[in-house]
A = this chain, B = another copy of it.
Amino acid sequence: MSEGFFDAIKAGKIKPPESAKTLGIDILSHDPATHTIELEFDGRPTFANPIGIVQGGFLAAMLDDAMGLAAASTMNVGEFAPTLNLNVQFHRPAQIGKIQGTSRVIMRGREVLQLSAELRQNGKVVATATATSLKRTM
């Protein structure tokens, strides 16, 4: 059996990419049965928009990163799944500070992955997203 991509990330064999470090990602848990990931991001002062809250685009980046990890949890080392389409709904402002997230695989085809994610702050949903990814081998 080939090595799971997500297990290699968790074991530190695959280092987090720069994009994940920039977003301050912390993987809290991973349910291999449902491909659901619980994680936390750092809403940094460098992400602030003109009114001092996290610019929506950086929430989109966090949601994309979270769904990328859910996709990775279905793959082996050497596979990757570029995002084709990302749809984000903004529910309420996110203050500078920690932001919790959940991402999952909602449909796992042979090539196509349908993904979803949400971000929360103080227990309230700040943004949700869906995405479609296409599995590829390097």
Q: In the complex, what distance in Å separates the CA atom of A51 from the CA atom of B133?
A: 15
The A contact surface, by secondary structure, is: mixed
Cβ contact within 8 Å between A19 and B58: yes
- Least distance between A2 CB and chain B CB atoms (Å): 17
| Contact size range, A | 35 or more
State whether A60 and B49 are in contact (beta carbons under 8 Å apart), knowing that A88-B85, A90-B84 are contacts in the complex.
no
Q: 9 smallest A-B Cβ distances: which pairs?
A: A57-B61, A57-B64, A19-B55, A60-B60, A86-B88, A18-B48, A17-B50, A22-B46, A56-B83
Task: Taking A21-B46, A60-B60 as given, write out 6 further A-B residue pairs in contact, using a Cβ cutoff of 8 Å, ordered by the A residue number.
Answer: A17-B49, A18-B47, A19-B54, A23-B57, A60-B88, A85-B89
